[in-house]
Amino acid sequence: MKKFKRNTLKTLLAFIVAVLSSKGFSNGNPYRDRFQSYRQTFRIEPNPEETQRIIKNIIGKKKILDNLVDLQVPDTAEDGNVVPLTFRINCTMQKDDYPKKVHVLALENPFPEVAIYEFFSEKGTAEVSFRCRMRTSSFIMVIAEMNDGRIGVNKKYVDVMLGACS
Amino acid sequence: MEKLRRLKYKKEVQFGEDVKIKTLAEHQMETGVRRDNLTGVIYPRLIIQSVIARYNGEIVFKANWFSGVSANPYLAFFIKAKESGLIEIEWKDDHATTSYKRGYLKVLDEKGNEILPVKYGL
């Protein structure tokens, strides 16, 4: 009787832990985000597995749509410290048709997450331009999380002549 | 020492127009990965973490930045003009020190009258 009770408790606990962990890691926050929120003061090498995990955590099991994101980057950048970047989300910005969060990732950086932009409903067009750093020539990826659950992804390769010092 | 903050936009716009707002902050944006050549000491990270744009006190746009953003960060975005009022940009540091830049936006309707944020009933 005692053994049976213990076993049931064990399975229940395992189930709860599994549910919690699956929710905690797939709520759209990238894995390294928590890590980055500290003032990081040590050297770290770029890790392709880590970037794949971040992308997976952002996208999850949602459906990916093409031609939602327009991305403008130069084909070749002379200086890796200053790579100009503009993106535009093709949406009306009415009621539910707006991007909640837009992630910008440089895939070969030690910290691939470059920026997260947040937009609000009926507050202008979703177009942003800024400058980012890149260590080597690699892909730049923009992931748009729409408010109604859709996801748009665009990816472009940038050739960097002189990488940002690291 | 006061660091330079810049805010540029079209001062007088029509109703419903999309206004492009360009901002520039003077900041070193230390990544926390760079090492001193002589001593081998790593410079601690010091970046601007977030930029918040407010239009008449309401949050219109928000940016969260990590170490991948370049030094002296430039940022341009759009807001929709509905009524004339205050545009306020807030830069927040790693030390949670904030700096602000404010400006007035004048919005005109079709007849050329200014649309004020507060309506007075007569």
Q: What is the pLDDT of residues B98-115, one digit of tens each?
A: 999 999 999 999 998 999
Tell me the Ramachandran region of residue A60: left when phi exceeds 0, alpha when psi lies from -120 to 50, beta otherwise. Answer: left
Q: Tell me the pLDDT of chain A averaged across its residues.
A: 83
**CA end-to-end distance (rounded Å), chain B:** 49
| pLDDT (mean) for B81-99 | 92
Nearest to B49 by CA among B103, B99, B6: B99
| pLDDT (mean) for A147-155 | 92
**Confidence class for position A28, pLDDT limits 50, 70, 90:** very low
Interchain contact, B75 vs A40, CB within 8 Å: no
Smallest CA–CA distance from B43 into chain A, residue: A41
A31 pLDDT above the threshold of 50? no
- A36 bridge partner residues: none
- Residue B79 with chain A: CB contacts under 8 Å: 123-124
Q: Which domains does chain A have, with CATH numbers?
A: 2-162 (2.60.40.2470)
Nearest to A28 by CA among A118, A122, A97, A108: A118
- Smallest Cβ distance to A123: which of B46, B76, B80? B80
Interchain contact, A118 vs B64, CB within 8 Å: yes
Task: Look at residue A123 and give its three-state secondary structure.
Answer: coil
Q: How far is B33 from chain A (nearest CA, A)?
A: 5
Between B121 and B50, name the one with better pLDDT: B50
- Residue A82 with chain B: CB contacts under 8 Å: 70
Between A33 and B33, name the one with better pLDDT: B33
Interchain contact, B60 vs A123, CB within 8 Å: yes
Q: Looking at residue A11, what is its pLDDT?
A: 83
A47 pLDDT above the threshold of 60? yes
| pLDDT (mean) for A51-61 | 90
- Residue A102 with chain B: CB contacts under 8 Å: none
**Confidence class for position B73, pLDDT limits 50, 70, 90:** very high
Q: Looking at residue A103, what is its pLDDT?
A: 94
The fold adopted by the segment(s) B5-108 is: Immunoglobulin-like (2.60.40)
